[in-house]
A and B are shown apart, each in its own frame.
Chain A
Amino acid sequence: MNVSPVLDRQPLVTVTSDGLYCPPGDFHIDPWRPVARALITHAHGDHARWGSQRYLGTSPSVGLLRKRLGAEANISTLGYGERLKLGDVTVSFHPAGHVLGSAQIRIEHRGEVWVVSGDYKRDPDPTCLPFEPVRCDTFITEATFALPIYRWDDTRLVAQEVLRWWDGNREAGRASVLFCYALGKAQRLLAELARLTDREVLVHGATHALVECYREAGVRMLPTRPVSEMEKGTSYAGALVLAPPSAAGSTWMRRFGEHETGFASGWMRVRGNRRRRGYDRGFVLSDHADWPGLLRTAKETGASRILVTHGSSDTLARYLRENLGLDAAPLSTPFEGETED
């Protein structure tokens, strides 16, 4: 077992070869290998992995977790804020504002409180509950977009931009193929666009299954139809198609005829990232906290120690330490943040 950075007292969460581990509670959080008991912050692939004996997640995420972990997986749920005693500790889930059902995990042990943020954002999102700052002694934060150039615009402005792009392509008789992650980003776009239009949107099969989960959870979105249900020879002129980034450049794209491509991601904030991948348009939209969001959150938790995972962890830890005077250190994990596909 590898133990995480030097800590003065027995840590409530350590990094082991299986994942984040809580010794007094004897459970793992988002383990990357099968374990006896796994607490899951949210249903993204790098957090909810298959094969553990028992899972514990939030009630609103259970549909997504079933999709990811299989029908036989042993999943119990807790509502947000509900407390459960596990071993020597008390755990509870709190909204992280990342995707449907996403949570931070609070762990309390003899008066000491740790919070594992999972992935989170501070911007409003009609598909999930907003992030709730939880006071704690040690906060384990993500750092996917931990550079001061990453700042997100109001999501409604981004949605308007997407709609203008779609309208422009409609006028020119082209299809608009918008790449975005199948879980979270696609549904958020569909929900944001529903404020602006009621047109139907076509979706890739991978996206479709997850859109259905969101509908079952009561999220209001634009009507959708899977591309696979379209007749052969259908014209896609004027259509908006949502697809996961892995579909870019595949033969699946051939059916769309004349089209423009876009990518909705926080990485699109930097011009070179878009040009290098050859997308026509980049829309800056992320389900992760931006730089001000990360800093603000670190302060709001009141934590006396911050551990940083995901992405630019060294950078954020150093800034918190040197510029905000917080006790902060990187914690190395294989979480991926917002990857390219």
Chain B
Amino acid sequence: MHRLADLYEALDATTSTNAKVEALVGYFRDTPPEDAAWGLFFLTGRRLKRLIPSKALRQWVRELTDTPEWLFDETYAVVGDLAEVIALLLDQTERPAATEELPLSRWMEERVLPLAGLSLPEQRERVTGWWHVLPRRELFLFNKMLTGELRVGVSDTLVVRALAQHAGLPPAAVSHRLMGTWAPSRAFFEQLIAPDVSDGDRSRPYPFYLASPLEQPPAQLGERDAWLVEWKWDGIRGQLIRRQGGVYLWSRGEELITERFPEIAEAAASLPDGTVLDGEVLAYAGGQPLPFSLLQRRIGRQKLTARVLAEAPAAFMAYDLLEQEGQDLRGLPLRERRARLEALLRDRPMFPVSPVITAPTWESLAEARHESRSRNVEGFMIKRLESPYQHGRKRGDWWKWKIDPFTVDAILLYAHPGHGRRASLYTDYTFAVWKGEELLPIAKAYSGLTDEEIARLDRWIRAHTREKFGPVRSVEPLQVFELHFEGIAASPRHKSGIALRFPRIARWRSDKTPRDADSLERLEELLHAPA
């Protein structure tokens, strides 16, 4: 585990991207493949299935260090990261500077993974035994493996860049091979960096091409004719693969969701072998998309009963064809791929093709965009007809032109500490609106402020705390924020009776007084307005 600890330290000790890539390349080069595979597993944010309840870890460390529960909780609130707080608490006796090296793969395969089959007392004995002998920095890593994510301030893009540089491959090839599920093994890592580009894995999706938000007026994109315009569907972005007799439906989060959508999988079995579609999983009935909340309800269900399937029927709205007859089509222009897609999916109602919006000018298009909400879509996708299918968020060929979000002016009511590197700041907030003279919480939001604003707000919160409930503080209801959100739904679970979708902070309205904030009635009106 020394190597991973060295890498972690190197990544942690710099804010420079190049230095990080350099450290990663060095790690992949110098580490045996079976260990590098595990390193990669953690670097890409993958995590083990929870082996030990964190409650047990807390209890063990409290017992070992004789720390009362209230003191542990206070300390944890300051550090914000369970793995770190455990490592810091245990770091009190003389610790070995280095232990006998056990390679990462053996740590994982001989020690960590087998914990799964053990009883709690047996787990306790092993884990606390390792706690006693591991040097401080490895102790922290080991705890991270047990508690979850071990991201080290490197994005997947950086990891891919480093791997590609190490393997002498194009980043796209590496990123493709990294998609989907894989087991961290010597074979996997060797195949990952192998020069031969044809891989055998039939379930593997292509990296998704992601649209960039359109910030300029669309007229600046030039000729209207050079672009294909579709609705921006409000569902789950997916890739549907039909290869060698199998069907695989991947979400953009690289999750295999085939089993969540049996009707799509069933219909896909009749597609010709060697087909890969890019599109959107939608709640869909009678040729019309249904609100996203229906799809959401279905995702939340443990069991897909016949009733659930009937309440929220799903379909795959296709908008691109990435592979046909086993041939990778991504290099062809969209115009060509689109023509093939339409021909392929003719008369297949489970696979509607995303219709093309024909409004002939940018002005008429802007007009049509007003229909978005009533159609349960989020605006437009604008794609260059001559473009190949790229990967990642490469700007220039795919744009999303979203409709303006809903807004509400709400009052800061509670502050919650952040996690990880922001653990000692208040970064998560609960906002409220007026109902008569009462303030009712309507949303929790954490994104949207600059670091500088977060720091300023943090100081304000500390100076204007009314009460503390564990790590949460209630503050004087004085600060008004403009929130944006994408939708609103009735929710009996909330005291306000409503739930906002994707609420985030648009700006801090220091120009407004609490009396200027919105009322619940105004939000309720949105609820009842025609969808």
Which of A147, A269, A272 sits near B423, CB closer than 8 Å?
A272
A148 within 8 A of B: yes
A319 within 8 A of B: yes
* Binary per-residue interface labels of chain A (266-299) against chain B in the complex, 1 for a CB within 8 Å, 0 otherwise: 0001111101101011000000000010000000
* Binary per-residue interface labels of chain B (89-105) against chain A in the complex, 1 for a CB within 8 Å, 0 otherwise: 10110000000000000
Q: Decide if A147 touches B78 in the complex (CB within 8 Å).
A: yes
A151 within 8 A of B: yes
Question: What residues of B have a CB within 8 angstroms of the CB of A151 in the complex?
Answer: 88, 91-92
Residues 282 to 341 of chain A near chain B (Cβ within 8 Å): 292, 315, 318-319, 322-323
Stretch from B30-38, B63-71, B172-180, B320-328 contacting the other chain: B63-71
Residues 175 to 216 of chain B near chain A (Cβ within 8 Å): none
Task: Identify the closest chain B residue to A278 (Cβ).
Answer: B15
Q: Decide if A148 touches B15 in the complex (CB within 8 Å).
A: no
Residues 55 to 94 of chain B near chain A (Cβ within 8 Å): 65, 67-68, 70-71, 74-75, 78-81, 84-85, 88-89, 91-92
CB proximity of A310 to chain B, nearest CB, Å? 16
Interface size classification for chain B: 20 to 34
CB proximity of A186 to chain B, nearest CB, Å? 22
Q: Which applies to chain A's interface (DSSP): helix, strand, loop or mixed?
A: helix
Q: Decide if B68 touches A149 in the complex (CB within 8 Å).
A: no
Q: Decide if B14 touches A280 in the complex (CB within 8 Å).
A: yes
Question: What residues of B have a CB within 8 angstroms of the CB of A273 in the complex?
Answer: 424
Q: Decide if A270 touches B13 in the complex (CB within 8 Å).
A: no
Task: Identify the closest chain A residue to B140 (Cβ).
Answer: A271
Which of B15, B67, B74, B84 sits near A280, CB closer than 8 Å?
B15
- How many angstroms from the CA of A273 to the CA of B91 in the assembled complex? 18
Which of B12, B79, B89 sits near A270, CB closer than 8 Å?
B79
Question: What residues of B have a CB within 8 angstroms of the CB of A149 in the complex?
Answer: 75, 78-79, 85, 88-89
Which of A148, A271, A281 sits near B84, CB closer than 8 Å?
A271
CB proximity of A170 to chain B, nearest CB, Å? 16
Residues 121 to 155 of chain A near chain B (Cβ within 8 Å): 147-149, 151
- How many angstroms from the CA of A323 to the CA of B80 in the assembled complex? 24
Q: Decide if A270 touches B65 in the complex (CB within 8 Å).
A: no
Question: What residues of B have a CB within 8 angstroms of the CB of A269 in the complex?
Answer: 88
- How many angstroms from the CA of A319 to the CA of B13 in the assembled complex? 35
Which of A272, A281, A315, A318 sits near B420, CB closer than 8 Å?
A272
Given contacts A269-B88, A280-B13, contact A275 B421 (CB under 8 A): yes
Q: Decide if B420 touches A148 in the complex (CB within 8 Å).
A: no
Q: Decide if B422 touches A148 in the complex (CB within 8 Å).
A: no
* Binary per-residue interface labels of chain B (1-25) against chain A in the complex, 1 for a CB within 8 Å, 0 otherwise: 0000000000011110000000000
- How many angstroms from the CA of A271 to the CA of B78 in the assembled complex? 11
Given contacts A149-B89, A323-B68, contact A272 B75 (CB under 8 A): no
Q: Decide if A276 touches B92 in the complex (CB within 8 Å).
A: no
CB proximity of A325 to chain B, nearest CB, Å? 13
Q: Decide if A148 touches B67 in the complex (CB within 8 Å).
A: yes
- How many angstroms from the CA of A280 to the CA of B92 in the assembled complex? 26
Residues 243 to 263 of chain A near chain B (Cβ within 8 Å): 260
Which of A148, A281, A318, A323 sits near B13, CB closer than 8 Å?
A281
* Binary per-residue interface labels of chain A (104-136) against chain B in the complex, 1 for a CB within 8 Å, 0 otherwise: 000000000000000000000000000000000
Task: Identify the closest chain A residue to B72 (Cβ).
Answer: A148
CB proximity of A283 to chain B, nearest CB, Å? 11
Interface size classification for chain A: 20 to 34
- How many angstroms from the CA of A149 to the CA of B103 in the assembled complex? 29
CB proximity of A308 to chain B, nearest CB, Å? 14
Q: Decide if B424 touches A315 in the complex (CB within 8 Å).
A: no
Question: What residues of A have a CB within 8 angstroms of the CB of B78 in the complex?
Answer: 147, 149, 270
Q: Decide if B75 touches A148 in the complex (CB within 8 Å).
A: yes
- How many angstroms from the CA of A271 to the CA of B75 in the assembled complex? 14
- How many angstroms from the CA of A270 to the CA of B88 in the assembled complex? 8
Residues 148 to 182 of chain A near chain B (Cβ within 8 Å): 148-149, 151
- How many angstroms from the CA of A273 to the CA of B84 in the assembled complex? 12
Question: What residues of B have a CB within 8 angstroms of the CB of A281 in the complex?
Answer: 13
- How many angstroms from the CA of A249 to the CA of B294 in the assembled complex? 50
Task: Identify the closest chain B residue to A273 (Cβ).
Answer: B424
Q: Decide if B420 touches A147 in the complex (CB within 8 Å).
A: no
B425 within 8 A of A: yes
- How many angstroms from the CA of A281 to the CA of B9 in the assembled complex? 10
Q: Decide if A272 touches B422 in the complex (CB within 8 Å).
A: yes
* Binary per-residue interface labels of chain A (3-38) against chain B in the complex, 1 for a CB within 8 Å, 0 otherwise: 000000000000000000000000000000000000
Q: Decide if B80 touches A148 in the complex (CB within 8 Å).
A: no
- How many angstroms from the CA of A269 to the CA of B75 in the assembled complex? 13
* Binary per-residue interface labels of chain B (414-433) against chain A in the complex, 1 for a CB within 8 Å, 0 otherwise: 00000011111100000000
- How many angstroms from the CA of A323 to the CA of B69 in the assembled complex? 12
Task: Identify the closest chain B residue to A323 (Cβ).
Answer: B68
Task: Identify the closest chain B residue to A150 (Cβ).
Answer: B88
CB proximity of B165 to chain A, nearest CB, Å? 20
Q: Decide if B422 touches A276 in the complex (CB within 8 Å).
A: yes
* Binary per-residue interface labels of chain B (311-351) against chain A in the complex, 1 for a CB within 8 Å, 0 otherwise: 00000000000000000000000000000000000000000
Given contacts A151-B91, A278-B15, contact A270 B71 (CB under 8 A): no
Q: Decide if A272 touches B14 in the complex (CB within 8 Å).
A: no
Residues 397 to 444 of chain B near chain A (Cβ within 8 Å): 420-425
Which of B65, B81, B425 sits near A148, CB closer than 8 Å?
B65
Question: What residues of A have a CB within 8 angstroms of the CB of B81 in the complex?
Answer: 271-272
CB proximity of B300 to chain A, nearest CB, Å? 32
- How many angstroms from the CA of A241 to the CA of B88 in the assembled complex? 30
Task: Identify the closest chain A residue to B425 (Cβ).
Answer: A276
11 contacts between A and B (CB under 8 A): A147-B74, A148-B75, A148-B92, A149-B85, A270-B84, A272-B423, A275-B153, A281-B13, A315-B71, A318-B71, A322-B68
A→B interface (CB under 8 Å): 147-149, 151, 260, 269-273, 275-276, 278, 280-281, 292, 315, 318-319, 322-323
> Closest 5 A-B residue pairs measured CB to CB?
A149-B88, A275-B421, A272-B423, A272-B421, A147-B75
